Amino acid sequence: MGKCTVFVDTETTGLRPEYHEIIEIYIIKEDPKGKVIGEWHYRVMPEYLDRAEPKALEMNKFTVKKWKDARPFTSIAEEVKDIVQGCIWIGHNPQFDYDFLQDALFRAGIPGIRCSLIDTKVLAHEHLLELGSTSFDNIRSYLGWKTDEAHTAKFDTVQLRRFYYLSRRMSLFTRLYLYTKYKVKRWMM
């Protein structure tokens, strides 16, 4: 029997996992046949808000009011670990989120996780002709997807999963269609 799959996105207070913190996590878990068996959303109250990069908080739409019901990471650490442990982790630059989770677990005194990682940046590079940057914002623009809630964990994870399945089934015809649509849109600007 195969492994379960998790699509994971985190939002953080900066770029350094040893210094900054996770403030939001969204996970979609599938059984080995691809059936969704659960979705989890956590808002995490940062312990060291003074270390946060203002630009990161702005991008992630963090406000104290919005995070008033957030929980400390230590109260969700075991649950998050149990959800993702041993699964195939699919993400956009998943090493970033994986490292943040590993550091957060370490700070909480909980042994780390072991997962295999699949990076959708590689799929974007392979399937989206002349994409340029493989940032997820650039992918959304290329595909004509909405961006109103970009850089929130749930929105990004749902779109990540959508992109993963789109790229897995992408034929040459689909690649050429998306490329043509992208070029026409840019030409009309």
List the CATH number of the domain containing 32. Answer: 3.30.420.10
> Can you read off the two tokens belonging to residue 131?
């994409």
Q: Which of 162, 134, 136, 167 is nearest to 151 (CA)?
A: 136
Express each pLDDT in 119-142 by its tens digit.
Answer: 999 999 999 988 999 999 999 999
Give me the pLDDT at residue 6, please: 98
Alpha helices in the chain (DSSP H): 54-59, 77-84, 94-107, 120-127, 136-143, 153-168, 172-188
Between CA 98 and CA 123 the distance in angstroms is 19
Number of domains in the chain: 1
Between CA 54 and CA 14 the distance in angstroms is 9
Report CA-CA distances (Å) from 19 to 34, 51, 72, 77, 145. 35, 8, 16, 18, 33
Task: Report residue 29: phi and psi, to 5°.
Answer: -110, 135
Give me the pLDDT at residue 136, please: 97
Give me the pLDDT at residue 176, please: 86
Lookup result for tokens 């550091």: 103
Intervals of the chain under pLDDT 70: 1-2
Q: What is the domain range of residue 117?
A: 5-188
Give me the pLDDT at residue 69, please: 96
The Cα angle at residue 6 between residues 151 and 161, in degrees rounded to 5: 55
Give me the pLDDT at residue 8, please: 98
Polymer length in residues for the chain:
189
Give me the pLDDT at residue 178, please: 84
* Residues 6+ positions from 187 with CB-CB distance below 8 Å: none
Q: Which of 32, 26, 40 is nearest to 4 (CA)?
A: 32
> Can you read off the two tokens belonging to residue 31?
């059984």
Put the strands of the sheet holding 5-12 in their side by side order.
36-43, 22-30, 5-12, 88-91, 116-119
Give me the pLDDT at residue 16, please: 97
Give me the pLDDT at residue 72, please: 98
